[in-house]
Structure 1
Amino acid sequence: MSDKANPPGDTPRYPIREVSRLTGVNSVTLRAWERRYGLLRPHRTPKGHRLYAREDIERVERILQWLHRGVPVSQVRELLEQPDSPANTRPGVDDWASQRQQLIAAIEALDTARLDDLFNQVLALYPANVCVEKLWQPVLSSLEERWDDRLGATLQRRTLEAFLRTRIGTRLYHANPQAGQTQVLIAPLPEADSPLWCLLAALLISEQGHRVQLLDASLPLQELNLAVERLGADALLLTSGKAEKLDLVRRQLPRLADQLGVPLVLCGPVARIRATDLAETRVTTLGDDLPAAASRLNALLTQTSHEGA
């Protein structure tokens, strides 16, 4: 089937993979919105393939606007049927607050079965950037405060890391062969004591259609250039939840950026804390808001691709 199919006498229709590409919402989520909540009603071919009109794509964009404002997906249909709803309309129930509480409870109880249910459920109903913005990043910020000098904190952290390493690694394994040609190498900086920032960044960048090579342990800085070359990376993304040493930030990272033939970018707290120190270098800081950082990286990769064409 071509990327765009036009049934006779009808407006242009798009297959689900093209709608996914245009909106950033994966096919599993689009199907869940249709089946569970009736948010979409695509045309069906005689063989059962879904075809979407331009109006359906605009509807997906409106759904995303409500989700980014914190409206639970279960309440969106009612709002869509009132297109003139005031901009300050708010949901009656903060579903995200409830999910954050459930996720924190599962992590603290080391309940990996419940954790698995929550992980799969939310990613089936929401785009990855919404999941990270509304659920995972707030939860991690809350846990970081709770984990300070608390008995059992290291066990909780390592259990969560192992869980996300497996689940996100599996998603990357299946997504990479279907992704575009652009590849991003992701690794933590030397003082990062956790791969959590790397893992969530990898999830977001993969969802944008890029191939991801994830290293969840830091490499010696002198080997990163070799890794980029051998792995054929189009960008190197380094993460850390800490400020990192001043010499690394002011001298070693700028030197590495000058040596690389691809963009060197930072995200996580290190990017926010050290933005001023790196302002006059070739290192690009993306901040510690992961969805926004992934969006900026996507724009940078698009720009670099166009310049190289």
Structure 2
Amino acid sequence: MTYKAMDSNAAPLYPIREVSRLTGVNSVTLRAWERRYGLIRPQRTPKGHRLYGRNDIERVERILQWLNRGVPVSQVRELLDQPETAETPAPQMGDWASQRQHVIQAVEALDTGRLEALFNQSLSLYPVGLCVAELWQPVISQLEERWGGQFGATLQRRVLESFLRTRIGTRIYHANQLNNAETVLVARLPDDSSGFWSLLMGLTASASGYRVQLIDGEVPLSEFPFAVERLGTQALLLASGHAERSDVIRRQLPRLAEQCEAPVCLVGPVARIRAGDLENSAVAVLGEDMSQALSRMRSMIDAGI
């Protein structure tokens, strides 16, 4: 392996927390890339703390580029040291497809131990935004299609709800102690009783550095302006995996957007399904991709919309 960390006398070095902030890759994932795959090799202080040079940061960015092209993390190392002119391989989608199948099988078998291992593994090896987009969103979409009238569907749904609610809620709680960015309020719309999409939105926002106030239950839309004011949130993100009732979309949401002091944003499948119904309203339709939705929300906050 030809890659070498930068000499500490040649350029500034950064602690892992700063590298995480600069690249969007959490500290757990950076450590996993180092220990399990040898993708990066930071220097160490006498007390063992990791220090990263500019070339380490650039290498992390190159890793992200490969992962975004669909290359499994286990195959990235052999690509990193290729000349820049090397031909880009075709995306290897089998890795994500295999992971999705494993998760679905664990849910259908009610195997929470296996589900726990897959959840922790996915979030330790991949950036949260990529993991949500390529694994957890597709899994939930596939399961919701399978659950229509299937024996055991209600039990499977409740087990997965409980699992994600506990794990994601814990991650958000601990991240809120460290995150210093704006606070966002994340909640579900009335027809999305499972709350899957609001949970994934909360997880993605938390991993992006926002302090997240997650309301994991049904709240009348008329009460959100009060919640936004009292909680001091900079945006309200409403999620759903369903089309929602026409009255909610065409009347209640536009009214809410006019009453709220912060932007009211729609995310998840509902944003794709109902985009046309909200074209002339104050509701910001941010799309189904969670990371892209946050980028659009960021632009709105910066612009003071």
**TM over 0.5: same fold?**
yes
Equivalent residue number for residue 49 of structure 1: 49
Residues 181 and 210, structure 1, Cα contact 8 Å, conserved in 2:
yes
C-alpha displacement of 1:277 = 1.5
Residues 177-196 of structure 1 aligned to structure 2 (within 5 Å): 177-196=177-196
Equivalent residue number for residue 169 of structure 1: 169
In the alignment, the residues of structure 1 paired with residue 8 and residue 42 of structure 2 have an alpha-carbon distance, to the nearest angstrom, of 16
C-alpha displacement of 1:7 = 7.9
Q: Which runs of 5+ in 1 are unaligned?
A: 1-5
In the alignment, the residues of structure 2 paired with residue 85 and residue 97 of structure 1 have an alpha-carbon distance, to the nearest angstrom, of 29
Structure 1 residue 121 and structure 2 residue 121: aligned? yes
Residues 164 and 199, structure 1, Cα contact 8 Å, conserved in 2:
yes
Residues 183 and 212, structure 2, Cα contact 8 Å, conserved in 1:
yes
State the one-letter code of the partner of 1:32: A
Residues 287-298 of structure 1 aligned to structure 2 (within 5 Å): 287-298=287-298
- Note the alpha carbon deviations across 1:219-260, whole angstroms, 9 max, x for none: 111111111112221111111111122222222211111111
C-alpha displacement of 1:83 = 3.2
In the alignment, the residues of structure 2 paired with residue 260 and residue 207 of structure 1 have an alpha-carbon distance, to the nearest angstrom, of 25
State the one-letter code of the partner of 1:126: Y
Decide whether aligned partners of structure 1 residues 84 and 195 sit closer, same or farther in structure 2, where only a CA change above 3 A counts. same
Equivalent residue number for residue 217 of structure 1: 217
In the alignment, the residues of structure 2 paired with residue 52 and residue 282 of structure 1 have an alpha-carbon distance, to the nearest angstrom, of 44
State the one-letter code of the partner of 1:209: G
Equivalent residue number for residue 284 of structure 2: 284
What is the root-mean-square deviation in Å for CA atoms of aligned residues? 1.8
C-alpha displacement of 1:288 = 1.4
Equivalent residue number for residue 139 of structure 2: 139
Residues 70 and 93, structure 2, Cα contact 8 Å, conserved in 1:
no
Equivalent residue number for residue 69 of structure 2: 69
TM-score after normalising by structure 2: 0.93
Q: Find the residue that maps to 1:10 and give its secondary structure.
A: coil
Q: Which runs of 4+ in 1 moved over 4 A?
A: none
In the alignment, the residues of structure 2 paired with residue 269 and residue 260 of structure 1 have an alpha-carbon distance, to the nearest angstrom, of 23
In the alignment, the residues of structure 2 paired with residue 87 and residue 7 of structure 1 have an alpha-carbon distance, to the nearest angstrom, of 31
Residues 70 and 134, structure 1, Cα contact 8 Å, conserved in 2:
no
Identity %: 63
Decide whether aligned partners of structure 1 residues 166 and 123 sit closer, same or farther in structure 2, where only a CA change above 3 A counts. same
Equivalent residue number for residue 199 of structure 2: 199
In the alignment, the residues of structure 2 paired with residue 63 and residue 249 of structure 1 have an alpha-carbon distance, to the nearest angstrom, of 40
- Note the alpha carbon deviations across 1:81-133, whole angstroms, 9 max, x for none: 11336454036682222111111000000000000010011111111011111
Equivalent residue number for residue 238 of structure 1: 238
Q: Find the residue that maps to 2:177 and give its secondary structure.
A: helix
Q: Which runs of 5+ in 2 are unaligned?
A: 1-5
Residues 70 and 92, structure 2, Cα contact 8 Å, conserved in 1:
no
Residues 69 and 91, structure 2, Cα contact 8 Å, conserved in 1:
no
Residues 75 and 91, structure 1, Cα contact 8 Å, conserved in 2:
no
Decide whether aligned partners of structure 1 residues 276 and 29 sit closer, same or farther in structure 2, where only a CA change above 3 A counts. same
Q: Find the residue that maps to 1:233 and give its secondary structure.
A: coil
C-alpha displacement of 1:296 = 2.4
Q: Find the residue that maps to 1:277 and give its secondary structure.
A: helix
Count of equivalent residues: 300
Residues 32 and 124, structure 1, Cα contact 8 Å, conserved in 2:
yes
Residues 67 and 73, structure 1, Cα contact 8 Å, conserved in 2:
yes
